[in-house]
Amino acid sequence: MICLTGDLHHMSLNTGNQQHSYISEMKTAILFLRLLEVYDIKMNYFITGKSFEEEWSDVKQIVFNPLIEVGGHNYDAFENEFFHRVWNKLTKNYNGPKWYQRNDTLKTIEIIKEKTGRDIKVWRNHMYMHGENTEEVLFDAGIQICSDGVKKASNEPSLHKTGIYNFPINIIPDHEHLIHAERTPQWIEKWQKRYNWSDDFGKESYYVETWANLVLEQLKDREAKGLVSNVIIHPITMYLCDNFKQVKRILEYISTCETVHMSELVKAKS
Ligand SMILES: [Zn+2]
Ligand SMILES: [Zn+2]
- How many whole angstroms separate alpha carbon 260 and alpha carbon 270? 16
Which letter, b or e, does each residue of 98-117 get, where b requires 16 or more Cβ atoms within 10 Å of its Cβ? eebbbebbbbbbebbeebee
- Return the ligand number nearest the Cα of 129: 2
Rounded to the nearest angstrom, the distance between the alpha carbon of 8 and the centre of ligand 1 is 7
- Return the ligand number nearest the Cα of 74: 2
**At 269, is the pLDDT very low, low, confident or very high (cuts 50, 70, 90)?**
low
Strand partners for 72: 47, 123
pTM, to two decimals = 0.97
Secondary structure (DSSP) of 155-182: -S-EE-TTSPEE--B-S--SGGGB-BTT
**At 149, is the pLDDT very low, low, confident or very high (cuts 50, 70, 90)?**
very high
Rounded to 5 degrees, φ, ψ at 6 are -160, 150
Percent of the residues in the chain that have a pLDDT greater than 90, as a whole number: 97
Q: Give Cα 22 to chain centroid, integer Å.
A: 22
- Return the ligand number nearest the Cα of 51: 2
DSSP letter, residue 126: G
- Return the ligand number nearest the Cα of 5: 1
Q: Is the pLDDT of residue 268 over 90?
A: no
Rounded to the nearest angstrom, the distance between the alpha carbon of 224 and the centre of ligand 2 is 30
User: How confident is the model over 162-216, as pLDDT tens digits?
Assistant: 999 999 999 999 999 999 999 999 999 999 999 999 999 999 999 999 999 999 9
Q: Which long-range contacts (CB under 8 A, 24 or more apart) does 90-95 make?
A: 93/131, 93/132, 93/133, 94/129, 94/131, 95/125, 95/129, 95/130, 95/131, 95/133, 95/134
